[in-house]
Amino acid sequence: MKVPAPRKLSSGKWFIQLRLGGESISVSDWDKSACIREARAVKAEYLAGRRLPGEAEDPPAPTLTQAIDDYIAERSNTLSPATIRGYRAIQNNRFKTTMPRRLDQISAGEWQIIVNAEAATCSPKTLKNALAFVSGVVLAATGTRIPDVTLPGSVAAETAFLTPDEIRTFVAAVKDTRFAVPALLALSSLRISEITALRWENIPKNPEFIRVAGAVVLNEEHHLQEKKQNKNATSTRSVPILIPELAAALERDRKPEGRVLDMKQNTLRLGIHRICKEAGITDVTVHGLRHSFASLAYHLRIPERIAMEIGGWANMATMHKIYTHIARSDISRYQTELAKFYKGEQNANKNAN
């Protein structure tokens, strides 16, 4: 009798999630084979009690929220804690009136009505992401897709970043504070999850590079959880120490061991906001400092492949679409050159053809 493949929990126990008659039934045992046998016995007992001899009966379709539980359980060994946390947020906050409904009782034509109602409760981007996840869940549970629906239009929000001149001001303002090391690491392209994973014992004295490997993210219980994998394969990288103030802060604040980020992530976020405000520069987030690295790399005309490797971006398209901002000073420079062209001004050093 076929049952789902068991998965090993962090406790060491083997676990199988059964879905019988619309009800989730958990089976666990320290022994893998015993877990499988028990699951088969539970399923056989259910089938014997619910089916007549020679009659096949399909269990009722799950509700949307039950289907989400199954979807996450089946992929729990491969999904990151942050991804699961995001899925749970959708399960708890989106499509609230639809979550308790059985999937076989939701008609294809009804999804547009459901989406229209949800559009009044959240931003277009939030709705788009939530529907994409729910569509995957429905497909996995039923084998059918949610039909195409019309979503409200959205304007992509750009993360605030520092201009090259503001970067110099920010470095001067942050260098002597307790936020210097994590903030300047972010300005060197590190994500906050990567900064949180760094440990002093893994950073040599006077380093020329910082080795970025692993990350610390929030799980579905809103607790920080360490994972060995970074966001993508290219995120595991060596980042050069190019900011003199960062090199000085690393040696000034160095400890024998422990996490480099010795404060809560929100403390760092608030500290950076305060420093920007007091310095009279653009108010940025920790991730905005990472964007500022990409913007500065563009401003300095550093080859894109080099900037992409330092920043750990997966591909050129991502860097172009999300991270590469054109500094205002660059826009002005290009505007000046265009104006000169249309006014007929020529470069004196160019020979006329």
Helix 111-119 and helix 124-142, axial crossing angle in degrees, nearest 10: 150
Taking only the tens place, the pLDDT of each residue in 305-345 is 888 888 888 777 767 765 666 666 677 777 777 788 787 76
Average pLDDT over residues 92-96: 95
Taking only the tens place, the pLDDT of each residue in 11-48 is 778 888 888 777 778 888 888 888 888 888 888 877 76
Q: What is the pLDDT of residue 52?
A: 41
Q: Do 44 and 58 form a contact (C-beta atoms < 8 A)?
A: no
Q: Does domain 164-332 have CATH number 3.30.70.260?
A: no
Distance between CA atoms of residues 238 and 309, nearest Å: 9
Domain extent listing, the chain? 1-60, 61-156, 164-332
In this prediction, residue 80 has a pLDDT band, given cuts at 50, 70 and 90, of confident
Q: What does the buried/exposed string (b/e) look like for 249-261 if buried means 16 or more CB atoms within 10 Å of the residue's CB?
A: bbeeeeeeeeebb
Look up the CATH architecture of domain 61-156: Orthogonal Bundle (1.10)
Average pLDDT over residues 52-58: 47
Q: What is the pLDDT of residue 146?
A: 93
DSSP 216: E
**What percentage of the chain carries pLDDT values higher than 70?**
88
Residue from 154, 145, 85 nearest 123 by CA: 154
In this prediction, residue 245 has a pLDDT band, given cuts at 50, 70 and 90, of very high
Taking only the tens place, the pLDDT of each residue in 196-229 is 999 999 999 999 999 998 888 777 777 778 877 6
**Are 61-156 and 164-332 in the same CATH fold?**
no
In this prediction, residue 55 has a pLDDT band, given cuts at 50, 70 and 90, of very low
Cα–Cα distances in Å, from 75 out to 284, 308, 336? 35, 30, 55
Average pLDDT over residues 291-312: 86
In this prediction, residue 349 has a pLDDT band, given cuts at 50, 70 and 90, of very low
pTM score > 0.75 for this model?
Answer: no
